[in-house]
A and B are shown apart, each in its own frame.
Chain A
Amino acid sequence: MEQLIKDLKLQIKEALNLEELSLEDFDADAPLFGDEGIGLDSIDVLEIIVLLEKEYGIRLANPKEGKAIFKSVRTIAEYVQANRKK
């Protein structure tokens, strides 16, 4: 699980071009969206959906399904672990 969280942090940082964010400061439990936390938006949701399909073979058909999954890096990791195809 910890390795998966580490991988995801790196993949998200790269996919979203979060150059200024150091991996040490990237808290696995910090909210990804909204003003408190990382501050991502709806386009980032779509990019993360692309990332999950590319890296883990997970297909999300509806961005709305992602709301609960994309709360934090940890919730994404839990979802990936349960649903990954590769």
Chain B
Amino acid sequence: MNIQVAGYGIICAIGNDASAVLESLKAGRTGIGPMHYLQSVHKELPVGEVKLSNADMLRMLGQDETTIISRTVLMGAIAIRQALEQAGIATEGKRVVVINGTTVGGMDVTEHFIRQISEEDDLLPLLKKHDCGSSTRQMADLAGLADAEVCTVSTACSSAVNAIILGSEMLKAGEADIVIAGGTEALSLFHLNGFNSLMILDKEQCRPFDKSRAGLNLGEGAAFLVLTHNLVKSEELRVKNNSHKLECMGNSDSSLLTPNSSLYIRGYGNRCDAFHQTASSEDGEGAYLAMCDALQMAGLKPEDIHYINAHGTGTPNNDASESAAIRRVFGEEIPPVSSTKGFTGHTTSASGAIETVICILALRHQFLPANLGWKEQDEACIRPYGNSTLINSKFKTGICTSVLCNSFGFGGNDSALVISSVPTGSSPEESRFKSEQLAEATILSADGELDGQALRQYISAGEARRMSLLMKASTLSSMQALREAGIECPDAIITATAYGMLETSEKFLNDMLEQGEETLSPTLFMQSTHNTLSSAIAIRLKCHGYNMTYSQGSDSLRWALRDAKRLIETGKARTVLVGLHDEATPTLQNIFRRMGKPVPPRLYSRSIILGRSPASD
């Protein structure tokens, strides 16, 4: 079974649709520049903004331009509409699933109105659209997919690639007919200041892999793919493979790759670096494993990959670590590599989908996108392809049919995709095993008190100093469940959370609003992303396996369990740690009271261990 890309949409700093993006890529034209729409005091920081106001986007979507809707939602809806239009497939009567990768959700609206919201009940409904799950629902509705099932994946900057991976898995398992997968993220004061507190933003245009690189530029945007499953018959595959071979021999006239060629998500890998919340390991273990998995699933050797779109943020740490990983996979024969973040800026949760669409454009239109900003070789880094786009490259002779797209996130959530014009022809994935629950541990605390003795069993004072209450609770329930199941390190870790890291996020937001956009705490920001919990447990257990975080309101646990069962039933994992971790800070409890809703407990953490049932061996 092959996962076919039936359509795609994109909106980012270098264009509001695929053809504009293509033009900018070919011309080597960056979209990074002075801030225009984001209202920050940090004017010294260049950003990759989408060149449209919220009112412009509302008009494009046929909405009243005074409506208050998050930019994250607006950009996502625009990209989905483009993708659906290009795919031109009827969704009626089909099982359609929208899978969105995002982290900030409706933060741009929340940070703007939070002070008014705290006083005016009329504005409370704005907060209902803040969390990732609600913003994904709103985006799907705006895109005309009110009947579709929706899911949000939130693994920080690798979110969108993990959304594409989940979509592909669901299609392979026969759980959906059409998947619309990708990611969206608007610039917010929250994460601009967060990245700034980590001192990884460059005041100049970013220079991925360059010796003088000094950090990243943030960007914003959205991209979505329409994915379908496509059973390629063996005869058809033989013909396709033969014509591919002919082309590889230099028969460029019978170009197989045209702007209308079919493209496939041929392989993917999701791994965890299990090293640090905000830094990548020196040898890039997580990235290395993700790339290896992607190649293996694709049935390709390193030499079959002819272009790598690197994560390449431009920070000294990421680029050196990613280079080490690429060298480990490809040895001396490294294919052309470029980071396109010099065009778009780092579009965080959306970056994986934006760069997947850039890979698709590169394959279909036969060019190698530039690594803008690169001038001087750094020994610690791979040498990227070049700082100008090469048109009519080797692609033209058909040598290149498969590309690799890397996407890494905080906490070491590292993923990779192989996109190819040649299908694999493998048979549909079958459920071979049965899963069963091995253990469970639950912590419920109405007031936030935790059992100190139990905590000290697993968490040292040195570790505890940086952990929020929810981190402590989730670690405790996870360790208790693992102990009960007699497992030291599970094959996979999956977290479900409706609201994520509220205590730390709220504190960071309050500090920013009260003391201004200076001297903010990096510790609070690095613990604000939803995937903090899953990756912290992976770091503790040194678990390099599959690592995933779902944030879809009250459906989050259902999605996490579904994923865990699929991993076990298809033989990809033997044991999975699934956790539902949520907290209600006093502020959130107050909001629930004002809305007249039942007030959730301060802490709730439930960890479940799923394993392969012996009956199925």
Contacts and interface: CB of A to CB of B under 8 A. Distances in A.
B465 A17 contact: yes
Contacts of B466: 17, 43
B465 A46 contact: no
Given A17-B465, A19-B465, A39-B462, A46 B198 contact: yes
A18 B278 contact: no
A42 B519 contact: no
B521 A47 contact: yes
B477 interface: no
A16 B461 CA distance: 12
A53 B198 CA distance: 15
Given A43-B522, A46-B197, A50-B519, A16 B279 contact: no
A62 interface: yes
Interface residues of A, number: 16
Contact of B199 (A18, A39, A49, A54): A49
Q: Is the interface of A mostly helix, strand, loop or mixed?
A: helix
Q: Is the interface of B mostly helix, strand, loop or mixed?
A: loop
Interface in A48-86: 49-50, 53-54, 62-63
Interface string A16-53: 11111000000000000000000100110011011001
B23 interface: no
B357 interface: no
Residue among B198, B277, B279, B519 facing the most chain A CB atoms (10 A cut-off): B519
A36 to B, nearest CB: 14
Contacts of A53: 518-519
A4 to B, nearest CB: 20
Nearest to A52: B519
Interface in B158-213: 197-199
A63 B315 CA distance: 13
Interface residues of B, number: 17
B279 A42 contact: yes
Given A17-B466, A43-B526, A63-B199, A50 B279 contact: no
B570 interface: no
Interface in B372-423: none
B519 A54 contact: yes
B462 A46 contact: no
B316 to A, nearest CB: 9
Contacts of A63: 199
A50 B465 contact: no
A63 B199 CA distance: 7
B523 interface: yes
A2 B526 CA distance: 34
A47 B523 contact: yes
Interface in B500-556: 518-523, 526
A26 B386 CA distance: 51
Contacts of B278: 43
Nearest to A50: B519
Contacts of A20: 461-462, 465
Contacts of B461: 19-20
A82 to B, nearest CB: 21
Contacts of A17: 465-466
Interface of A: 16-20, 39, 42-43, 46-47, 49-50, 53-54, 62-63
Given A16-B465, A43-B277, 19 more contacts: A17-B465, A17-B466, A18-B465, A19-B461, A19-B465, A20-B465, A39-B462, A43-B278, A43-B466, A43-B522, A43-B526, A46-B198, A46-B522, A47-B521, A50-B520, A50-B521, A50-B522, A62-B199, A63-B199
11 contacts: A17-B465, A18-B465, A19-B461, A43-B466, A43-B522, A46-B199, A47-B521, A47-B523, A50-B520, A50-B521, A54-B519
Give 9 closest A-B pairs by Cβ, nearest first.
A17-B465, A46-B522, A20-B461, A50-B519, A54-B519, A53-B519, A63-B199, A43-B523, A43-B522
